[in-house]
Amino acid sequence: MSSETKEFIVSTEYPGYVFLGWAMGKFETKDGRRQPYYNMYVLSPVSTYTSEDYQAEGMKAEKKKCLSEKVWEGFEPGDKVRLFF
């Protein structure tokens, strides 16, 4: 991904995930080890589920933990992506 980010439009018509970006690094565990992490950030539509106690509309931003940086290889912000869990 280039250091210069381009503008993109997210359509609420798309029912899947839209890639926003990523982060990777290392954090220190309680026992002092340096553990790598890989995260990607996406937008997706909120659930259409409604009940007496819940309603939502629009999009939600999510952080997804990844196994490695290869997960987002070739993605650019604004790309529509399919995620498998």
Q: Structural domain boundaries of the chain? A: 17-81
Distance in angstroms (rounded) separating the CA atoms of residues 66 and 57: 27
Q: Which residues contact 75 (CB under 8 A, 6 or more apart)?
A: 1, 19, 22, 40, 81
- Please tell me the predicted confidence (pLDDT) of residue 3: 60
Return d(Cα 27, Cα 9) in angstroms, integer.
33
- Chain segment 28-72, per-residue pLDDT in tens: 999 999 999 999 999 999 988 899 999 999 999 999 999 999 999
Q: Return the DSSP state at 7.
A: P
What's the pTM value of the predicted model, to 2 decimals?
A: 0.82
